[in-house]
Amino acid sequence: MRFKIHLEYDGTPYKGWQIQKGQPTIQGELLRVATKIFKTENLEFYGAGRTDSGVHAIGQVAHLEVQTSLITDHIRLKLNEELPATINVLKVEKATPNFHARHDAIARSYLYQVSKRRTVFGRKYAWAVAEKLDTNRMKEAATIFAGMHNFQSFAADSPDDKSMQVALNFVDIYEEGNVILFHLVGSHFLWHMVRRMVGVLVEVGKGKLTTVQVNQFLNTLSPEPARLTAPATGLFLERVYYANEKIKREPKRLIWI
């Protein structure tokens, strides 16, 4: 039987989503707990997005393949009873036998949170940038990313990335109080791509990069975005979209600052 699992997690103590020998990971914890609950190793727990070390999620989706007589709500309750407090299953629903959390996804939505001041309570969930940022300059530069582009300058080497071509729906920037929120939606994202895009846009906000230079990064391979990679702390996988789901321009708001 196949189930669609909706979950959230604090990525701070984990080395990312994907299971790694000898390292704490989100997938590793889910497999450990599911093996205990269903008393079998003949199962599959596959996520829609392989978030990096330290990256969070408020809307990750995974599929669970296992033979069980438990109803969906009991599966959710049992998983949450065994999972650490840093991982929470929000919803479990039955899926079609061929549903694949990653391959069936049509778009992913990410949020990145920047704090305009040094913060104690938000230090795990935001990148504190002390320098003054020009939000209008960043918004102007962000429009350059929309559409289909070669993001080779924004991607770290990964065997999972077969092509550097990515279609971005939009990159929106919101400012509220001490928080600047970046909202990025696209077909998929390459390894470190979001963090490098945010790092570049922050440099634009500081007045250290121009929109002309940002455009050049998309047309010519450059090492500059890698040098400007934003920390993982502020990044959240907000939502995964599937067929017939309308992409929302207005993101969820984060509240930890």
Residues identified as active-site: 52
User: How many other β-carbons are positioned within 10 Å of the β-carbon of residue 34?
Assistant: 25
Query: What do you get for the CA distance between the two ends of the chain, in Å?
Result: 41
> In this structure, which amino acid lies at residue 116?
K
Q: In whole angstroms, how large is the CA radius of gyration of the chain?
A: 19
SS3 161: coil
Report in angstroms the alpha-carbon separations of 22 from 12, 35, 55, 86: 17, 17, 19, 19
3-state secondary structure labels for all residues of 43-89: CEEEECCCCCCCCEEEEEEEEEECCCCCCHHHHHHHHHHHCCCCEEE
